[in-house]
């Protein structure tokens, strides 16, 4: 209350002394406390203004996320393309290897080859070995009894020679109509029709195998099988 009274008293003195000039000329009373209004309005807080960084921050994050996704996708496409090209090259390389001819003395022509259903035989049968009978007995020696009857000659039977069969494996057969030749691959060796390998003669070529002859015995060897 004293502050209010002092303020009223000062206003009255200013009014009596001729307005604000007198108050300005009069020295201020240092002992008097400063007049403080009862209530002062709180300063208004400045409204937060969005900066450019805050505005563009979500957009920057979105752009960086898209760029990372594009980079990952590009890397995956490059890796997939590399594997695809490598597999294609390997497939072509294996195909070219499969088309290479087998090394050998005679390579059949695939365009002129006859179907395997046909059978090739030798033009004539090979001569079989014949065992001749023993020669006649020697003439009697002088001084022996000429009246002694001759020993009875026993008939000699003609026995077929036993066939000896080595170990043979049939891996391929072929025929060439242009040259009239045919053969088979036995033990990884090329044997023409009528030729021999380890004492066995190739006498016939069929679609699923060959006929072999050893002595007077004839046996059939199937494709891919082993004879022993």
94 and 170 in a single domain? The answer is no
DSSP states of 91-143: HHHHHHHHTSPPPSS----SSSPPPTTS-EE-SSPPPPP-PPPPPPPPPPPTT
Whether residue 8 is contained in a domain is answered as no
- CA end-to-end distance (rounded Å), the chain: 138
112 and 175 in a single domain? The answer is yes
Structurally, how many domains does the chain consist of? Answer: 2
Whether residue 144 is contained in a domain is answered as no
64 and 121 in a single domain? The answer is no
Whether residue 142 is contained in a domain is answered as no
What is the mean predicted confidence (pLDDT) over 181-192? 88
Residues facing 210 on adjacent strands: 205, 221
Whether residue 175 is contained in a domain is answered as yes
115 and 226 in a single domain? The answer is yes
Looking up tokens 């199937």, which residue turns up?
222
What is the mean predicted confidence (pLDDT) over 128-157? 51
pTM beyond cutoff 0.75: no
pLDDT-above-90 percentage for the chain: 11
121 and 92 in a single domain? The answer is no
Domain residues for 92?
52-100
Whether residue 223 is contained in a domain is answered as yes
Whole-number pLDDT of residue 29 = 54
pLDDT in tens, 113-139: 444 555 556 555 555 655 555 544 455
Burial 57-89 (b: 16+ CB within 10 A, else e): eeeeeeeeeeeeeeeeeeeeeeeeeeeeeeeee
């Amino acid at each position: 209350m004293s502050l209010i009274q002092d303020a009223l008293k000062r206003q009255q003195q200013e009014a009596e002394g001729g307005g604000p000039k007198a108050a300005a000329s009069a020295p201020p009373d240092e002992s008097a406390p400063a007049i403080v209004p009862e209530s002062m309005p709180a300063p208004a807080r400045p409204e937060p203004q969005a900066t450019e960084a805050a505005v563009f921050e979500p957009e920057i994050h979105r752009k960086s996320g898209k760029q990372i996704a594009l980079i990952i996708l590009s890397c995956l496409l490059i890796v997939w393309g590399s594997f695809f090209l490598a597999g294609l090259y390997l497939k072509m390389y294996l195909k070219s290897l499969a088309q290479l001819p087998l090394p050998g003395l005679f390579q059949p022509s695939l365009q002129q080859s006859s179907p395997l259903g046909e059978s090739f035989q030798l033009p004539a049968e090979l001569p079989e070995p014949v065992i001749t009978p023993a020669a006649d007995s020697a003439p009697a020696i002088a001084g022996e009894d000429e009246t002694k009857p001759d020993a009875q000659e026993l008939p000699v039977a003609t026995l077929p020679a036993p066939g000896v069969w080595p170990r043979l494996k049939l891996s391929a057969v072929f025929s060439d109509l242009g040259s009239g030749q045919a053969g088979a691959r036995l033990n990884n060796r090329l044997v023409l029709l009528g030729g021999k390998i380890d004492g066995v003669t190739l006498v016939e070529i069929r679609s699923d195998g060959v006929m072999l002859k050893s002595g007077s015995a004839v046996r059939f060897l199937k494709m891919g099988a082993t004879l022993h």
